[in-house]
Amino acid sequence: MDNIIDKLRQVRRGAMFIIEGPSGTGKGAICKEVLAQDPHIKFSVSATTRAPREGEVDGVDYHFLSDEEYDKLVAEDAFYERVDSQYGHRYGTLRREVDSFLNVGEDVLFDMDWVGARQMKEKAPDDVVTIYILPPSFAELRRRLEGRATDSAEVINKRMAQFRDKVSHWKEFDYVIVNVNLDETVCKVQKIISGERMKRVRQVGLQAFVDELVKESEHE
């Protein structure tokens, strides 16, 4: 039986899950937990020109690039999507990063803003699933942002000032979760992922499987 499940997985069509929400909603922690618990979903490491925060590792959290390196990749058309003015920095998704996972049937998880989510949804409407995370209150969001010792007061203020602009896009997303409790939110994200995986269009190996079932039934 396991054999059949493995076979079906090998030929399934990978999906792209985009997680977005205002800064400080806990997107990073949610993504980390989902990835730690599911070996079949991989994180798309974005490129950015912002400096690493304490504890962030190059190539794991982001590909941290200089403006020159980023420009070079733009010239090479190496990005699926990018935003060039987020809090004074640039962020983008590298094609090679995503394709390396989708080509082997793995799902991909993105921590991406609504501009990028919209671009990705337009490019691949059937393969992109978007999830919006809301904070339980603005006070909580402020507390979480101020708890990030590595961001300057200026950056924190910029992020809070952009709250209303960011939150105004929540209706563009397929799913919405209020992140009251990390464990519960992670569980909800996992349910979305497993539901999406079961969609008929993603299980491209099913036709052969059903054909086989029918053939077997003919020998009865």
According to the binding rule CB under 6 A, does residue 23 interact with ligand 5GP? yes
175-178 sheet: strands from edge to edge: 41-43, 107-111, 16-20, 128-134, 175-178
Q: Which two tokens stand for residue 19?
A: 């997680």
Find the part of the chain contacting ligand 5GP (CB under 6 A) among 4-12, 106-114, 172-180, 187-195: 106-114
Query: Please, which residue, 11 or 174, has the CB nearer to ligand 5GP?
Result: 174
Site for ligand 5GP (CB under 6 A): which residue of 92, 107, 135, 189? 92
Under a CB-based contact definition with an 8 Å cutoff, are residues 37 and 186 in contact? Answer: yes
| Four-residue CA torsion sign, 21, 26, 28, 29 | negative
Q: Contact with ligand 5GP (CB under 6 A): which of 17, 70, 91, 101? A: 91
115 binds ligand 5GP (CB under 6 A): yes
Distance of CA 124 to the CA centre of its chain: 14
Report the candidate in 25, 19, 21 with the shortest Cα–Cα distance to residue 140: 25
Of positions 33, 97, 107, 111, contacts ligand 5GP by CB under 6 A: 111
Site of interaction with ligand 5GP (CB under 6 A) = 20, 23, 46, 50, 81, 83, 86, 91-93, 111-113, 115-116
